[in-house]
């Protein structure tokens, strides 16, 4: 019996809209900083009280965890709470980054999916690689 042929890995039409990339040995994830949601007074931040604590979360489910506000503020006072993994593409107002693991696995060619690192900023994104000047 012949082994089943594996389909060739393909890049998506819009790789910048993905929240994780596993196309090479280096694994990358988009992360957001919940403390920035508070600092920016994000309109999608919600809060509720339960069991004597106040919890915050994202109505747009950019991140899926609900965080104890007191613990977040304590961590921010000691140097920063840090980031949480994004479940969906961050919004333009989100303080988002791409975190890579296993950087020692990077090969000589570099990233096979460089557009994944483009984060939303509310503006049209494009790159200029070269300028062509007409002969005068």
Q: Residue 132 is encoded by which pair of tokens?
A: 């062509």
pLDDT at 85 over 90: yes
- pTM of the complete model: 0.71
Q: What is the pLDDT of residues 119-133, one digit of tens each?
A: 665 555 555 556 677
Q: Residue 114 is encoded by which pair of tokens?
A: 């460089």
Q: Between the CA atoms of 48, 54, 55 and 56, what dihedral angle is there, to the nearest 10 degrees?
A: 70
Residue 120 and residue 12: Cα distance in Å, rounded?
17
Q: What is the pLDDT of residues 29-51, one digit of tens each?
A: 899 999 999 888 999 999 999 88
Average pLDDT, stretch 60-88? Answer: 89
């Amino acid at each position: 019996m012949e082994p089943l042929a594996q389909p060739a890995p393909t890049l998506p039409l819009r790789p910048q809209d993905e929240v994780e990339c596993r196309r090479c040995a280096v694994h990358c994830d988009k992360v957001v900083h919940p403390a920035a949601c508070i600092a920016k007074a994000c309109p999608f931040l919600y809060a509720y009280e339960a069991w004597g604590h106040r919890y915050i979360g994202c109505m747009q489910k950019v991140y899926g965890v609900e965080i104890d506000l007191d613990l977040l503020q304590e961590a921010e006072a000691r140097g920063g709470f840090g980031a949480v993994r994004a479940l969906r593409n961050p919004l333009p107002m989100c303080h988002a980054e791409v975190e890579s693991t296993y950087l020692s696995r990077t090969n000589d060619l570099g990233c096979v999916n460089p557009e994944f690192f483009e984060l939303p900023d509310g503006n049209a994104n494009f790159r200029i690689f070269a300028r062509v000047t007409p002969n005068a």
